[in-house]
């Protein structure tokens, strides 16, 4: 789908589907508990549908939208999730048609005033808007954690898009249209081998930007990583803290938040 949006991931759609982590069931339990109705959920900027699939146990109909058709195409049709190629700021859904609108690890790319207008239009009165992301990958092994943190903060510093600063700020600097509900802390936990970790790093927007400029920062990381982690078959425990903002659409309002 052509459009004016920062498309950092279409070129790695298959790797994104394979290596990006999904989210804990407890997160979706909490979202469902704070959503008054449970007919239809909208996963905006769904990518490969990691969040959309987590919503399925709670909503009989889940719609995944994304401006990048290549990402949506990597979501298997067998999931039963409706897929629509459209931008977050120009949604193809009808007025007051969803009970929950969520954005997972993507709100930092949006034009927020336009998105808030759309979500106020599409979300039913009293419905829930939730945006979340996950912070920098952390490893439980201290030496591995230091290596990955230095790679993220120093080696890749020139290559991170400006919007990625919102991730560093845990979305606290993003506008939010309605009064917020206090949310608990969630996190993603995984036990990965070395190749899986490298596959995940290869989906980062900074890596893509560097490669497009003829550089590959992963080649500078791999020797140090292999020295620290000589047996590729062993696993390491890693995690990401999740930051979440959520609020209910007022029951009496116009289309603009």
Digitized pLDDT (tens) for each residue of the chain, 257 residues in all: 334 555 544 545 566 567 778 999 999 999 999 999 999 999 999 988 999 999 999 999 999 999 988 888 888 887 889 999 999 999 999 999 999 999 999 999 899 999 999 999 999 999 999 999 998 999 999 999 999 999 999 999 999 999 889 999 999 999 999 999 999 999 999 999 999 999 999 989 899 999 999 999 999 999 999 999 999 999 999 999 999 999 999 988 744 44
Q: Is 152 exposed, middle or buried (0-12, 13-18, 19+ CB in 10 A)?
A: middle
Measured CA to CA, the distance from residue 68 to residue 66 in angstroms comes to 5
Q: What does DSSP assign to residue 47? A: T
Q: Are 156 and 220 within 8 A, CB to CB?
A: no
The distance of Cα 140 from the centroid of its chain, to the nearest Å, equals 23
State the pTM of this model: 0.89
**Entry field: residues in the chain:** 257
- Residue that has been written with the tokens 């510093």 in this structure: 157
Task: Report the alpha-carbon distance of residue 64 to residue 186 in Å, rounded.
Answer: 23
What is the rounded CA–CA span in Å between residue 128 and residue 250?
10
Residue 225 is predicted with a pLDDT of 96
pLDDT for the residue numbered 71: 84
CATH architecture, domain 10-137+162-190+242-248: 3-Layer(aba) Sandwich (3.40)
From the list 34, 38, 78, the residue with the least C-alpha distance to 58 is 38
Whole-number pLDDT of residue 78 = 79
Q: How far apart are CA 44 and CA 38, in angstroms?
A: 17
pLDDT at 12: 53
**pLDDT of the residue at 252:** 82
136 Cβ partners below 8 Å, 6+ apart? 149, 152, 167, 168, 240
Distance CA 25, CA 22 (A): 9
pLDDT at 14: 60
Taking the mean position of all CA atoms in its chain, how far away is CA 88? 13
Q: Which residue from 41, 150, 170, 161 is spatially nearest to 105, judged by alpha carbons?
A: 170
pLDDT of residue 70: 83
Query: What pLDDT score does 113 carry?
Result: 96
Owner of token pair 């190629």: 85
């Amino acid at each position: 789908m052509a459009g004016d949006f920062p498309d950092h991931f279409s070129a790695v759609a298959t790797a994104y589907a394979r290596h990006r982590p999904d989210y804990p069931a407890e997160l979706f339990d909490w979202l469902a508990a704070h959503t008054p109705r449970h007919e239809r959920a909208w996963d905006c900027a769904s990518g490969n549908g990691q969040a959309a699939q987590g919503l399925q146990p709670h909503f009989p109909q889940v719609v995944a939208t994304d401006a990048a058709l290549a990402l949506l195409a990597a979501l298997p049709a067998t999931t039963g999730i409706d897929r629509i190629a459209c931008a977050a700021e120009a949604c193809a859904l009808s007025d007051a048609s969803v009970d929950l609108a969520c954005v997972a690890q993507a709100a930092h790319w949006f034009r927020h005033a336009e998105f808030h207008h759309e979500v106020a239009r599409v979300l039913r009165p009293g419905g829930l808007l939730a945006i979340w992301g996950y912070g920098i990958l952390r490893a439980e092994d201290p030496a591995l954690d230091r290596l990955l943190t230095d790679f993220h903060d120093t080696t890749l510093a020139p290559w991170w898009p400006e919007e990625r600063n919102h991730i560093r700020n845990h979305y606290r600097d993003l506008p939010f249209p309605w009064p917020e509900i206090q949310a608990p802390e969630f996190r993603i936990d995984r036990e990965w081998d070395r190749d899986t970790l490298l596959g995940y790093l290869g989906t980062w927007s900074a890596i893509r930007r560097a490669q497009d400029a003829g550089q590959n920062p992963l080649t500078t990381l791999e020797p140090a990583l292999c020295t620290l982690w000589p047996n590729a078959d062993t696993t390491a425990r890693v995690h990401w803290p999740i930051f979440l903002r959520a609020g209910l659409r007022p029951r009496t309002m116009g289309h603009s938040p």
